[in-house]
Structure 1
Amino acid sequence: MRISFRKTEIGPLTAILGGGLTAALLDITYAFVFFGLRGANPVRILQTIASGVLGKAAYQGGAGAAILGAFLHAGIAVVMAAVYVSASRVLPALNRRPWLWGPLYGIGCYLVMNYVVLLLRFGPRPAPHLEVLAGGVAIHMFGVGLPIALFAARAALSSRLPGSTSTPQPAA
């Protein structure tokens, strides 16, 4: 019996969308559970994401603001995936060790989001409690960076399979 990988080939766009949306889903599920156990409800969490664009009005925006927050969250994760997949096409070494580079990329995403993007949007914030920091770093390592890296590595493998329609990448 021959095993065919042709049915599982994916291209870079699929890697970006698959990795980004998987990361978004895992990250928001973590936020719903972690902060839900501390009294926050999912609508409020999504409104908080939307507040990056709407400001305090997001909290009076009801379901519409929550939906905007969900789309913004997914969009940010897709951008994170696009950056990694693009980098992995230039630096193929990223695809050879996704279990290493993915979590490291997740730490980088956490740092950029919390100490650049949120700092620029909302100004200085108090240092997070240890459990918030540890959980945030962990979910970004294993729920954001790792799935993105695994999708990127799958796309790179697909481009090297015999009979693939993808454009092969140069070896490093």
Structure 2
Amino acid sequence: MHREDSRVSGWPRVGLGALVAGMADLVFAMGFWWISHGVPPMRILQSIAAGWYGEASFTGGVQTAGVGAVSHFAIMFLFVAAYRQMATRVTLLRQRPFAMGAVYGLFLYLLMNFVVLPLSAAGMASFKDAGWVAASIAMHALIGVLCARYALAPGAPGDAGLAHGRA
């Protein structure tokens, strides 16, 4: 038995990656908006729930904040799982997880802001705050790296377990 076998691998690792990347993203967003605009953290979670409820999410209190939190981590799980599935077929994603993860994160930024949000009850994202846009793009690149790192089995990059479907 290899040492890597005793570490978290496979789908539990995807869940762990969703937790780590999701927390990093929430701490970033909550910190940014609290420091720069005085927006309370619960409102960030409610803004995520706005995808379901629109403006009504901001009057829903803890309930809509909870929906926002669950939605956020579910989306993050899908992000990590998607990278994992793609990495089983595309060697470059396993060989260069940091570079490809950063590219993946930028793709996620574009997907969320120009496809998912416009199709949701939240509507098109606002790009008025240049500081937020720049910081958000950088954070999405980091999120992509985290997705890649946790999507791959222990021993990444290029872990043979993932390449052979064992992870």
**Which TM-score band (shorter chain)?**
0.7 to 0.9
1:95-106 residue pairs with structure 2 within 5 A? 95-106=94-105
1:130-149 equivalences under 5 Å are: 130-142=130-142, 144-149=143-148
Where structure 2 has 5 or more consecutive residues not aligned to the other structure, the ranges are: none
TM-score (norm 2): 0.86
Of 124-133 and 22-31, more deviation after overlay is shown by: 124-133
Structure 2 CA distance for partners of 1:51 and 1:9, relative to 1, 3 Å: closer
Task: Write the distance in 1 (CA, Å) between the matches of 2:82 and 2:33.
Answer: 28
Q: How far apart in 1 are the matches of 2:76 and 2:60?
A: 23
Identify the match of residue 34 of structure 1 among 20, 24, 32: 32
Number of residue pairs aligned between Structure 1 and Structure 2: 162
AA matched with 2:58: Y
Deviation, 1:64, is 1.0
What's 1:57 paired with? 56
The residue identity in structure 2 corresponding to 1:66 is A
Bigger radius of gyration among the two: 1
2:108 matched to which residue of 1?
109
CA shift at 1:51, angstroms?
Answer: 1.4
Instruction: Report if aligned partners of 1:51, 1:57 keep a CA contact under 8 Å in 2.
Output: yes
Taking a change above 3 Å as real, the CA distance of residues 32 and 125 of structure 1, as seen in their structure-2 partners, is closer
* Per-residue CA distance 1:93-124 (angstroms, 9 max, x = gap): 20111110011100000010011111222444
Q: 1:42 to 1:71 in 2, by over 3 A?
A: same
The 2-side partners of 1:88 and 1:167 are apart by: 8
SS in 2 for 1:90: coil
2:14·2:151 contact (CA, 8 Å) conserved in 1?
Answer: yes
Structure 1 position 156, deviation (Å): 7.5
Pairing partner for 1:23 from 21, 24, 27? 21
SS of residue in 2 equivalent to 1:154: coil
State the structure with bigger RCO (CA 8 A, min sep 6), 1 or 2: 1
Deviations 1:54-75 (A, max 9, x none): 2222111111111111001111
Write the deviation string for residues 38-95 of structure 1: whole angstroms up to 9, x where unpaired: 1111111111111111222211111111111100111111111111111011113201
Corresponding residue number in structure 2 for 1:7: 6
Which SS does the other structure have where 2:164 is aligned? coil
In structure 1, the gaps of 5 or more residues are: none
Q: What's the offset of the Cα at 1:125?
A: 4.7
Sequence identity percentage: 30
Cα distance change on mapping 1:27 and 1:57 into 2, 3 Å: same
Report the counterpart of residue 168 of structure 1 in structure 2: 164
CA distance in 2, matches of 1:18, 1:120: 28
